[in-house]
Structure 1
């Protein structure tokens, strides 16, 4: 058996009751019977207590250490001397007893003992004592002891007592003796005998183990595997279980049965590894054995694919909490072999399989160590970047880690993050954009990670500044601004704080597409810089920019505040800054509707601007506007006289200002509102003369008309309307102004101009119908008043014709006016009709009479066509009267001269015949008119018809109605 294996099998356990047995012998001397009984009891107790000196295998773990490669693993060699060296363990002591004297006591007992069982036990004890004596001597004089006597003692006991209980113990002890004698083959044979004949022996596990050791030493690895397999499969609760697993692994290893060997080594580790999986916490022997297992596994997996093979193997065998040690052992093996990439890949493989493992960070650190050892700087950077990415203080791995893990990771993270940041920054600075952009951003990200991960570190301000610089250099101006400001206002007392804050302002200036929100943030940054670092010489300039920006953003209250502060800044910042501040202050107050304050600010601005400065004109305009707005405010508050005063100040103080026109116009408006119409009119007339092309001038005429109306100055109002009519481009304005001018001329008593305007309107504006009808009515009335009947009748006919041709535009009013006009014209015809007397020659006068009748009847029928009751009853009455008058006129007509009595009588009969139909027609028409009373209508014309009928047909129409409704119809 090889020396490493022998070293692993050292140790024995002496009988704990040996000293007690010796004492019993001394106490029982002189009383042999009692002594025999007591000695038998002691012997029995010793036997039950395990006083068999069984071999105790603690396996310190220095079993066959696997060499770096399989080729280096040498087979076990035969060695001289015993294959089972039974040297006392480090903590074992040889019993402090005089074995020779104890042997003498047993021999004395043997002489007097008669009981066979007792004699067997005493002889066995004597053999054991002899074995112990040889062992003690062998410890002092190695190689000088013979075990032949001991062997003979055990052999004789087996021959004489083949069936005795405990025979397996005799075989076991005899095998030990042969082994100590150097007869390993005989020792193995006895172990085989023990296995076959005593399957229930308490020494069976050891027997199998010894067999395995012998076979292993002889290079018979298959038989060794079988023996060790029986140890671990049949006797899993024996003292040799872990050692058996361990040697089973080596036996399979020697046969190149790697998967099976790995399973045995893993099973060994299952037995040995503590709960914390830390080798340093194990006993020395277990630690060394576990280390051997890991080393062996590493060698095997190195030939099966490395880390991938480990992952596959444990997927098959089942995950183990300590399997990271296998990866570690393999990685270390590769490192010893200078296979750096394989070593690093092994560590990476574990991380890939177990990214959340509590030791994953250690494996990434191992990869970094490997690349450093191999001299691969780029790989070192990549590995450190992976370490930071996976185990950052801000990541989930860190959150799940305990304090111990964090204490390990923290200094590494600080070192790596800082190194990575500087590496990428230097790399970017050595290159050119755009290629260097990614490195700038990477550097910034690492600086930021450092700041967020280790906020209490004293280098944080510096790293924040570097982070912002990297962002800016890479072109990410927005993030650079945020980073600069974060550093500047978190560490305001740091020497670089004002530079960082100002760098943020410069970065804002480089942005071309600022959103409204970003513009506001830029201004806030300017204000923050100015007030935080007020002692910096750049502060007032920045404040001036902020004030101007606030003004442009229409944030007037803040613009005013900033500008006010700048006008009071100490030390004095210079004329230009102060001039700019007063300008912003004026604009801000103006836009805030603080017009008196704005007037003051513009006054201060004008006082500081040199004569001839181009900015003075604008300042004067703004001054005028401020005064003007005060006028507007006074007007809005209901004080038109005060408003007019402010507007007048504009005319006085800035007569050439653009706003002067508005001021004059509004002054007139304010005077008008205050009732000062003469002042208002004077300003308006002057404005129209001074600024004829101004848009406001076009509306002055209408205002003057209203003012003149309010003053009842109808003539002036009419003249303005004539002007409006002449100047207006809008036809509607022309029409209305013409119509209204006629009305105002009438009010002024200027009927000639009124008639002229009305005639122009009636002829020129057929539409809309309503005002034209009214204009024609007024003309008819005016001509009626002046006695110009023909002109009146012209316009009455024009009114009727206008309505009749109006179609859908006709109204009730136009129908009424038309009916009224036609009714009046019909009355005129009726008057002409009644004026024609029937005289001789009757034929001629009658012809004229009938022509007039036809004209009159047509006129009244036209009246009836309008369907207005008021004019209809009148027209019906007149029609009846037309026929009645003709009938009576015939009867009363002049008789021809020189008619005799008979001829006269015949003439009168003839007239009566001619007149009677007309009378009947008159009765029928009057009756139709009177019968309207049956429908509830009644007026003077219906009443007149009743009266006529009463005369013509008193029998029928002589009765009077008590009461009917009286209707006037539409007027």
Structure 2
């Protein structure tokens, strides 16, 4: 009989007739481990034929009678053997009664011994020895049974019972814990041939015997050879008889224990790499994995299956073991490891992998549902994690979710769940900001499964994703519009369809496709049931814009009026619509202006003010209305609009130019004071310094023209003090001040600005010009003349010294002024200044000679006094002559003017001998500086 146990099968060594001691394996030892303490030692129970007790007794009595009467030796031998066998059967039948069985076995033993003694060497003696050994064994004297079996093996090696004898002997040694002798005996039985009745049992018990000796590798060899004999090439145990099946299972169980002690799954691969690969190796891994699982060594259990997968990735059993890994972690409650194991399953066995393509239909039938389930679970797992608010790596998680959703769709395109997967895939892409991919997935779901309840949501989500993507290229924008049109066509009953179509119409218009835009807007106007007011307003706006773009401004105005009529007061959209309406009217004004119909253009622009007073274009329209009223000659209307504009829009960019326009209008109308007032405003508010300066100067001019001298003086004076540069215009302002003050007979202020003119020119540097030179010379000449008149007005009176001092001071001021005038080199003022300088000296001489004489002088004293006066006057007269001569000599240089002429006249009076000859002719120059 074969003991029952749990094993795994293989055929790699089937057919071996001997058990070689493999190099490196025969002498291996291991320390005893308690892991098999709970394993009962195997036993072999011989089959006992059940004979009814009455029949055995009857037969024994019958044979006894025959023996008593027969005299035939051969028959006696046969009967005695039969009686011994009957006694043996009776003993076996009486085993429930220990005393009776013991007597029966003793009788049987006695009879077998008697036969062997009485018939030594008789044919069949091996059978007698065999039965005798059995009787001793059943009686409980295993040692005696072993001795007899040994004798049988030695004396009758060719006996049919020799192998069984060897096997029984081995069993006895095994039961007596003599595992070395047991192992040798089992080996002898196994070497007797694979066809023997005890072949598999001997290999199985050989493995146990070596295991009991701590010879693990030799035990592995024994169990493996037993499995080789039992397990078919397909590793199936189901076809085996129950006893063989239990032996195989026990082999696997014991091998699992052995490999646990040798390092687990890695040891299995290493061992069979040396022993030779077996088809039943997966069962060994499985047995080890289950052993670990029973011991709640979950990581070891899972690792065992992983070791097999790593060693044999292409094995048909690999996907099953990966499933075992998942189940082990699930049993352990290791959530993270379960996820990782499912990921590995999907990675290794998905339909795009070689494993799937090489698998048979049966394996695919198992893997397919698992892949669908795991891919779904993994996708939703990562999707859920990504949606957690605190997920720092949300992008990575969304990407993982998306990859699994995509894998499901690609792997199982015909599954009903694909629609849901596409929707979730799109959501994941959208969360990642991969809008193009999200749109594609949404569209696949919506239009590939239009009857799905979520199809409208998916289609609408694709629209929202396009909005998030913000298409850049023209092709992308057209694709977005087509997507909106597709939604409104496919899901017309969706309440969002009209609004989507309205958006598409607007987008078509923006894309430069007005005909398609108008077509969409007309469809909206005719939509049944009528869409929301906002949608209709969009439709009218699209039509208005299309007409506007086509330069049909009157139609655009009408469409915008229709849109505006749909909006209630206070609606924030009224502003934009009003602006568009205003633009339509405004463009009509522009068209009229281009045709030269300025009055009509102004009327259109003014209509913008009346129709849409709050529109953003109203300022431009009002400004343009004023401009075209001006061109039409209606300055009153133009000025009224401009003044209102400035008051209404003080910060508008156009406001800054209104003052200049008003100035221009007032100039045209000769309204100098109004023009000057506007210039004052410009001068005070303009940011540009040059503009402020020019405005101030021009305001002074216009006040002067209007007759407001004081206002003009104030502006010229401010200009001259404030604007040092440019010097030329400043000196002109000073010149005007001189003229204005002169007109008012305010010579003190006139003289101040005369001197300021000359100083300004002198400090002008690079800005000096002939004009500034002339004005400086003119100013100093006028100022010198004023000093000259003051000088002449000082009379020499008593006391002479006091009056002479005043006279000389006035003379010094006059000389200084004329000399500065002369220094400018302007002939017109230079000859005058030279002449006047001569007159200054001559007049002093004349004044000295004509001065009053002191009273009380006698004739001598008076004569001496007059001589003294002549002595004092003479140098001045000499100086006058020299100066007049300087002026006269200019005639020889081709210059001649009244002052040179008068210089000649003075010289003729002062030096008639030299300068009073009438025959002397002077060639005069006709040039005047």
Instruction: Name the TM-score class by shorter chain.
Output: 0.5 to 0.7
Indicate which of 181, 185, 193 corresponds to 2:154.
185
CA deviations on 1:479-532 (whole Å, 9 max, x unpaired) are 9998797365457364524742335537988x9x98574999999779636525
CA deviations on 1:708-741 (whole Å, 9 max, x unpaired) are 44x3x4x314423225537986398887655423
Indicate which of 846, 853, 861 corresponds to 1:889.
846
* Deviation of the 1:859 alpha carbon: 3.1
Indicate which of 583, 599, 603 corresponds to 2:558.
603
Match of 1:586 in 2: 541
Please say if residues 444 and 470 of structure 1, whose CA atoms lie closer than 8 Å, have aligned partners that are also in contact: no
Match of 2:584 in 1: 627
Match of 2:210 in 1: 253
SS at match of 2:810: helix
Match of 2:140 in 1: none
SS at match of 2:721: coil
- Higher normalized contact order (CA 8 Å, seq sep 6+, divided by chain length): 2
Alignment of 1:54-203 (within 5 A): 58-59=15-16, 71-72=39-40, 74=42, 184-185=153-154
Match of 1:830 in 2: 788
2 CA distance for matches of 1:907 and 1:425? Answer: 137
* Deviation of the 1:600 alpha carbon: 2.9
Alignment of 1:221-260 (within 5 A): 222=180, 250=207, 253-260=210-217
2 CA distance for matches of 1:349 and 1:73? Answer: 27
SS at match of 2:722: coil
Runs (5+) with no aligned partner, structure 2 = 5-12, 21-35, 48-121, 127-147, 189-198, 915-926
> In the superposition, relative to structure 1, how do residues 536 and 591 fare at CA in structure 2: closer, same or farther (>3 Å)?
closer
Indicate which of 366, 389, 392 corresponds to 2:346.
392
Match of 1:753 in 2: 708
* Deviation of the 1:543 alpha carbon: 3.7
Match of 1:502 in 2: 457
2 CA distance for matches of 1:841 and 1:381? Answer: 133
Please say if residues 794 and 803 of structure 2, whose CA atoms lie closer than 8 Å, have aligned partners that are also in contact: yes
1 CA distance for matches of 2:708 and 2:253? Answer: 128
SS at match of 1:401: helix
> In the superposition, relative to structure 1, how do residues 913 and 496 fare at CA in structure 2: closer, same or farther (>3 Å)?
same
1 CA distance for matches of 2:504 and 2:14? Answer: 89
> In the superposition, relative to structure 1, how do residues 891 and 70 fare at CA in structure 2: closer, same or farther (>3 Å)?
closer
> In the superposition, relative to structure 1, how do residues 442 and 660 fare at CA in structure 2: closer, same or farther (>3 Å)?
closer
Alignment of 1:795-944 (within 5 A): 795-801=750-756, 816=773, 817=775, 820-831=778-789, 833=791, 849-860=807-818, 868=824, 870=826, 877=834, 881=838, 884-885=841-842, 889=846, 893=850, 906=864, 909-918=867-876
Indicate which of 493, 496, 501 corresponds to 1:538.
493
Aligned residues: 746
Alignment of 1:434-453 (within 5 A): 449=404, 452-453=407-408
* Deviation of the 1:534 alpha carbon: 1.8
1 CA distance for matches of 2:329 and 2:702? Answer: 112
> In the superposition, relative to structure 1, how do residues 805 and 356 fare at CA in structure 2: closer, same or farther (>3 Å)?
farther
> In the superposition, relative to structure 1, how do residues 855 and 294 fare at CA in structure 2: closer, same or farther (>3 Å)?
same
* Deviation of the 1:353 alpha carbon: 6.4
* Deviation of the 1:416 alpha carbon: 1.7
> In the superposition, relative to structure 1, how do residues 406 and 740 fare at CA in structure 2: closer, same or farther (>3 Å)?
farther
CA RMSD, 1 decimal: 7.3
1:722 equivalent to 2:691? Answer: no
> In the superposition, relative to structure 1, how do residues 386 and 434 fare at CA in structure 2: closer, same or farther (>3 Å)?
closer
* Deviation of the 1:462 alpha carbon: 3.7
CA deviations on 1:114-167 (whole Å, 9 max, x unpaired) are xxxxxxxxxxxxxxxxxxxxxxxxxxxxx96999xxxxxxxxxxxxxxxxxxxx
* Deviation of the 1:565 alpha carbon: 0.7
1 CA distance for matches of 2:229 and 2:895? Answer: 136
Match of 1:777 in 2: 735
> In the superposition, relative to structure 1, how do residues 853 and 423 fare at CA in structure 2: closer, same or farther (>3 Å)?
closer
Output the TM-score relative to the length of structure 2: 0.58
1:492 equivalent to 2:447? Answer: yes
Name the stretch that deviates more: 487-496 or 875-884. 875-884
SS at match of 1:744: helix
> In the superposition, relative to structure 1, how do residues 639 and 627 fare at CA in structure 2: closer, same or farther (>3 Å)?
farther
Please say if residues 721 and 740 of structure 1, whose CA atoms lie closer than 8 Å, have aligned partners that are also in contact: yes
Runs (5+) with no aligned partner, structure 1 = 5-55, 80-142, 148-178, 190-208, 231-241, 956-966
2 CA distance for matches of 1:624 and 1:569? Answer: 21
Please say if residues 721 and 741 of structure 1, whose CA atoms lie closer than 8 Å, have aligned partners that are also in contact: yes
Indicate which of 303, 311, 316 corresponds to 2:266.
311
Match of 2:313 in 1: 358
* Deviation of the 1:778 alpha carbon: 1.4
* Deviation of the 1:825 alpha carbon: 1.0
> In the superposition, relative to structure 1, how do residues 541 and 312 fare at CA in structure 2: closer, same or farther (>3 Å)?
closer
2 CA distance for matches of 1:596 and 1:745? Answer: 49
2 CA distance for matches of 1:730 and 1:658? Answer: 25
